[in-house]
Homo-oligomer: A and B are copies of this chain.
């Protein structure tokens, strides 16, 4: 239980559950009277899963956890911590975690720390980091940790409706993991904004300012990437560029934002004169180098150009991560981990070093 003995703390196993009910984005375009390709090409989405009246975040989570324990033959007594990340509020005081305790109580295990983490889509990542830290801390009692990310993303009628989705992901956490975390490089960006929130407590729909939300997201991405690169250089002694990453996994409310996000990081590399940007790309991006931050977020031309020059790298490093999110839709807290599961599914043998 010496924390220094816990090397390579990370993900030992993953399980995903999403509803069997879904709508084709092509059919939704017709139903909504939207122009052909608006959701499929414009948003980059194929399908959208949704919960019927007989499912919710609790039932999805119960399934994901039970299924993970069964598939990997984990004794429910061997779980010492269970954290849930969600922004789908079923009860304002009773946590989703307490519902999941049913799985463990029947095996006589009530000694399980952990609660629900709420902070929009980031709640799932917060839950994951908390369990990793626990395994590394003096509080660790030698048992496994479990993280559940689950949401049912639904929007009121309008342009955001096709960006819904629903799923639950369960992850088993412990030392000596094949998927380990390098916490020292981590960059965070937290800020007080009203781009996406749920102030109407009686409604399941969020209030979204789509344009502001996208700008907030890209600003936060820039900021995190800058911090990550600065820490990488500090600890590794050499600068970082996208060419150093095998794969890049993004949060995926809809695939088009993933494309834009990668292109943005590519543009950031260009601004830092990073080695991964080739001469042809440099030439095409040069006209945008003097834009202010705000101007660069607003420029459609820059968006188009950077996506175009980053396309080859995107296909290699990001495309393998987009499989599940394109089929299931937005899963809020589970979205990033559905992208990660897609990568493991598509590239499993190549990921083993």
Q: Which residues of A contact B (CB under 8 A)?
A: 1-4, 87, 89-95, 97-99, 101-102, 105, 110-120, 122-123, 126, 129-130, 132-134, 136-139, 183-184, 186-194, 196-199, 201-202, 206, 223, 227
| Other-chain residue from B1, B111, B227 in contact with A188 (beta carbon distance below 8 A) | B111
Closest to A206 in B: B93
10 residue pairs, one from A and one from B, having the closest CB atoms: A115-B119, A92-B198, A202-B202, A133-B137, A139-B183, A94-B197, A136-B137, A93-B198, A95-B119, A115-B126
* Alpha-carbon distance A190/B105, docked complex (angstroms): 9
Contact B4 A201 (CB under 8 A): no
By a CB distance below 8 angstroms, the chain B residues around A110 are 188-191, 223
In whole Å, how far is A97's beta carbon from the nearest beta carbon of chain B?
6
| Other-chain residue from B4, B113, B132, B194 in contact with A3 (beta carbon distance below 8 A) | B4
By a CB distance below 8 angstroms, the chain B residues around A117 are 115-118
In whole Å, how far is A265's beta carbon from the nearest beta carbon of chain B?
18
Contact A113 B188 (CB under 8 A): yes
* Alpha-carbon distance A101/B193, docked complex (angstroms): 10
Contact B99 A192 (CB under 8 A): yes
By a CB distance below 8 angstroms, the chain B residues around A138 are 136, 183-184
Contact A201 B115 (CB under 8 A): no
Closest to A227 in B: B111
By a CB distance below 8 angstroms, the chain B residues around A102 are 192
| Other-chain residue from B4, B136, B139, B201 in contact with A92 (beta carbon distance below 8 A) | B201
Contact B111 A115 (CB under 8 A): no
In whole Å, how far is A286's beta carbon from the nearest beta carbon of chain B?
30
| Other-chain residue from B89, B95, B113, B202 in contact with A120 (beta carbon distance below 8 A) | B95
Contact A112 B188 (CB under 8 A): yes
Contact B111 A196 (CB under 8 A): no
By a CB distance below 8 angstroms, the chain B residues around A192 are 98-99, 101-102, 105
In whole Å, how far is A182's beta carbon from the nearest beta carbon of chain B?
9
By a CB distance below 8 angstroms, the chain B residues around A193 are 98
By a CB distance below 8 angstroms, the chain B residues around A4 are 2-4
Contact B136 A3 (CB under 8 A): yes
Contact B113 A116 (CB under 8 A): no
* Alpha-carbon distance A114/B186, docked complex (angstroms): 13
Known: A3-B137, A111-B187. A120 touches B101 (CB 8 A): no
In whole Å, how far is A78's beta carbon from the nearest beta carbon of chain B?
15
Contact B98 A118 (CB under 8 A): no
In whole Å, how far is A50's beta carbon from the nearest beta carbon of chain B?
18
By a CB distance below 8 angstroms, the chain B residues around A136 are 3, 133, 136-139
Given A94-B120, A116-B119, A137-B137, 7 new contacts (CB under 8 A): A91-B197, A93-B196, A94-B194, A95-B120, A105-B192, A110-B191, A115-B123
In whole Å, how far is A113's beta carbon from the nearest beta carbon of chain B?
5
Contact B91 A191 (CB under 8 A): no
By a CB distance below 8 angstroms, the chain B residues around A123 are 95, 115
17 contacts between A and B (CB under 8 A): A1-B184, A4-B4, A94-B120, A94-B197, A95-B120, A97-B119, A98-B192, A111-B187, A115-B117, A115-B122, A115-B126, A116-B118, A129-B139, A133-B139, A136-B136, A139-B186, A202-B202
